[in-house]
Amino acid sequence: MAERIIYLDNAATSFPKPEIVHETVRDFYSQNGVNPGRTGCDLAINAEQMIHETRKQFSAFFNRSLIESGKEKDPNRLVFTMNATMSLNLIINGMIGPGDHVVTSMLEHNSVIRPVNHKVREGAEATYVVPDAEGYLDPEDIRKAIKRNTRLVIINHASNVTGVVQDLNSIGAICREEGVPFAVDTAQSAGVLPIDMTECHIDFLSFTGHKGLFGPTGTGGICVADDAEIRGTIYGGTGVRSAVPYHLEEYPYRLEAGTQNLAGIAGLNAGLTWVENKGLNTIYAHEMSLFEILQNGLSDIPGVTLWGTQNLDRRVATLSMTVNHYDASDVGTILDVDYGIQTRTGLHCAPLIHQHLGSVPRGTVRFSVGPFNTVEQIRTAIRAVAEIASDRP
Amino acid sequence: MKIGDKSIDFDKDGFMVNPGLWDEQIARAIAGDEGIEEMTEQHWAIVNFIRNYWLEHDLAPAVRLICSDVGVGVRQIYKLFTSGPARGACRVAGLPKPDGCV
């Protein structure tokens, strides 16, 4: 099946995964799979060691400048979750209560919008900062939105609809000046763009494992800055100090409970290792070179509209388009069935940015390039869209 | 809406609220609402495939499956049901509104 399709839905999940990830996950339970713990049998200790090494790996990945300056980053503040949605829920639930104010944006995914709206329903307030016509946030608009009761600024680094990338350095600096914790959703950028928590003053970095980090689904996490504070909102077994009646406050337990997705974390380790060996810049350059061909090709087709910025700077390799006289879902269906091209249609769980762009109610066709795509595949996709656009229903 | 001797309710998107009441007369009525003047053999082949699949699996078939099983191209489906396989053909087949990511 994989050979017959042209997969251009990497914003949903990266596919295929590198072979090392397949091997790691496939072989995991034949060699490991025992519940980790600092005490217990050797296999449990080995499992714990694997998880601890992965915490260190990710802590360093998101804090390069700190590590290179000779300082240490507490790896226990790298907590694992099952996905970015869970990470973002933990952040929002742990920082926002009734009477608190949160600043976010119209570019967010429902994994931010919905928990924020639930907090508003429970008595919090929210400001959704409006981006410009291309989708870029003005950091000063975030400053203007901050109030005395603002407890969190939470922003997505790269849009899953238009691919625009926000200026985390400037936004983080403002949050630090204003004394407001800064959370970043890196679902579309971790493993794609360099992200440094120290340089960008990020307090909580949410990541997913199965997109740019090439891990399995069911993985993700939060990197919590060493000086950041957050309430724990998940309670249960920790494998240590079982007699304590309340959930443990220290990390990683503060934001973790229960048995981890061990094979997933092993796969995530393999995925990040692959990314680091390949090089972020190499992967990004490849994706953007294909993206430029795609964007140029689609923009030349009569009847095709590209939504959001067409800048090649400050973006990831994702774009949204529509074809005149077609519903977006119909274009996606024809691309899939007639050409084997996999895209994602609709509102992409990000309704507010679609409202801002004007692509509601039916949304757009999203193309998202990955490192395993080729020039030939991109040219095929362009031809397919051209044929669809010229064959009006 | 009264169709034959049945009182049929539709949701805001025009899908049957109670799919169990579907019959061919209702299919023709919905087809008329879709702008289909007369249901051809190809229309029925698609509708019956979708209906039977839904009865067996409790969900709408993938478009690729409709194409391969019925022997019709996806663009032909759009010509037969201008609202498309999900919104058009599934409606005529009396399915509830298919889950799809919008």
What domains appear along chain B, each with residue ranges and CATH number?
Answer: 9-92 (1.10.10.370)
Average pLDDT on A286-300 reads 98
Does residue A355 carry a pLDDT above 70? Answer: yes
| Site of tokens 């029925």 | B44
Query: In 3D, which of A178, A248, A211 has the Cα closest to residue A109?
Result: A211
pLDDT band at A315 (very low <50, low <70, confident <90, very high): very high
Best to test chain B binding among A4, A323, A333 (most B CBs inside 10 Å): A333
How far is A174 from A49, CA to CA, in rounded Å? 38
Q: How confident is the model at residue A2 (pLDDT cuts 50, 70, 90)?
A: low
B18 touches chain A (CB under 8 A): no
Pair of tokens at residue A214: 């090439």
Q: A130-171: per-residue pLDDT in tens?
A: 999 999 999 999 999 999 999 999 999 999 999 999 999 999
Average pLDDT of every residue of chain A: 95
Model-wide pTM > 0.80: yes
Residues 39 to 68 of B: which have CB under 8 A from any A CB? 63-64, 67
Q: Per-residue pLDDT tens for A244-268?
A: 999 999 999 999 999 999 999 999 9
pLDDT at A1: 53
Using the 8-state DSSP alphabet, how is residue A151 labeled?
E
For residue B3, give both structure tokens. 């169709």
Nearest C-alpha neighbor of A12 from the set A369, A375, A373 = A369
Distance set, CA B93 to CA A11, A161, A260, B19, B74 (Å)? 34, 33, 44, 9, 17
Residues of chain B with Cβ-Cβ distance to A336 below 8 Å are 63-64
Tell me the C-alpha to C-alpha distance, in Å, between residue B1 and each of B12, B14, B94: 13, 11, 14
Residue A393 binned pLDDT confidence (cut-offs 50, 70, 90): low
A107, containing H or E segment: none
User: How far does chain B reach from its first CA to its final CA, in angstroms?
Assistant: 28
B101 a catalytic residue: yes
| A356-388 tens-digit pLDDT | 999 998 899 999 999 999 999 999 999 999 999
**Backbone angles phi and psi of A188, in degrees to 5:** -100, 0
pLDDT at B3: 87
What average pLDDT does this structure show over A178-202?
98
Residue A279: what residue type? Answer: G
Q: Taking 60 as the threshold, does the pLDDT of residue A38 lie above it?
A: no
Of A333, A346, A393, Cβ closest to residue B63:
A333
CA of B68: which chain A residue's CA is closest?
A337
- Residue B100's pLDDT is 67
Give pLDDT, residue A45.
Answer: 81
For chain A, list the domains and their CATH numbers: 2-17+279-390 (3.90.1150.10), 19-278 (3.40.640.10)
State residue B30's pLDDT score.
Answer: 95
- Cβ A346–B75 below 8 Å, yes or no? no
Q: What is the pLDDT of residue A50?
A: 92
Which residues in chain A have their CB less than 8 angstroms from residue B63's CB?
A: 333, 336-337
State residue A180's pLDDT score. Answer: 98
Q: Does B73 touch chain A (CB under 8 A)?
A: yes
Identity of residue A88: L
Active-site pick, B75, B100, B101, B102? B101
The interface residues of chain A toward chain B in range 297-336, judged by CB-CB distance below 8 A, are 327, 329-330, 333-334, 336
Per residue in A109-131, pLDDT (tens digit) is 999 999 999 999 999 999 999 99
pLDDT score of A37 more than 80 = no
CA distance B84 to chain A (A): 7
The confidence band for A208, taking pLDDT boundaries of 50, 70 and 90, is: very high
Range with the poorest average pLDDT among A102-106, A332-336, A379-383 = A332-336
- Mean pLDDT across B32-43: 95
Any idea which residue has 């919104």 for tokens? B87
A-chain residues near B35 (CB < 8 A): none
Nearest CA in chain B to A351: B102
Cβ–Cβ gap B86/A329 under 8 Å:
yes
Q: What is the mean pLDDT of residues A10-18?
A: 97
CA within 13 Å, CB half, A345: 19
Q: How far apart are CA B77 and CA B82, in angstroms?
A: 8
Torsion angles phi and psi, residue A311, rounded to 5: -60, 145
- By three-state DSSP, how is residue A74 classified? coil
In three-state form (DSSP H/G/I as H, E/B as E, the rest C), the secondary structure along A280-313 is HHHHHHHHHHHHHHHHHHHHCCCCEEEECCCCCC
